[in-house]
Amino acid sequence: MSGAFQGQVFGLSGGKSVRDMNCERIKLSKTIYDMGMKVAAVSLMCQDPRVFQAMEMAGTPCPYMGAIGPAASDRWEKNEDRRPDQKKGVKSKILGVFSSDKIEVDQISNVSADEAAYLEKCTRPDFKGRRKSTKSCEAEWHDSQ
């Protein structure tokens, strides 16, 4: 950031540098990626809540303490307080729509707690972002019994 003033005889100027943490994050991530450490580069980018949510929405969860894919997704669910998007206080509205569709036992008639737990886990997106419908999961449950 800078500014200047120039009169007919006298001139004055000043400036100040501003540290852009997002720019630093991108530059560090690129450097780490170029060194061949792809998971570390993704982990660094995932510190930004927007990137974290985009990765989750794409079905490729951010790494968690070395775990990747479905294992990372499970660990993020167990440690909700460590999510970068939790630091702002609440998840985004878009992410909230997709992550708050938990099935409660009392919402479904004649459903056991085991079946409700199965349905909840079955309807979550897998690591590729694919999501099964509740009907498909119910059919799987009844076929397995």
- Residues 35-60: tens digit of each pLDDT: 999 999 999 999 888 898 888 888 88
Same domain, 73 and 122: no
Q: Which domain holds residue 58?
A: 19-89
Residue 99 pLDDT more than 60? no
Residues 79 and 45 in one domain: yes
Looking at the domain assignment, is residue 10 inside a domain?
Answer: no
Total H helices, total E strands in the chain: 7, 2
Do 83 and 137 lie in a common domain? no
Q: Are strands 2-6 and 11-15 parallel, antiparallel or unpaired?
A: antiparallel
Do 46 and 77 fall within a single domain? yes
> What does the mean pLDDT of the chain come to?
78
Residue 88 confidence (pLDDT): 56
**Would 30 be classed as within a structural domain?**
yes
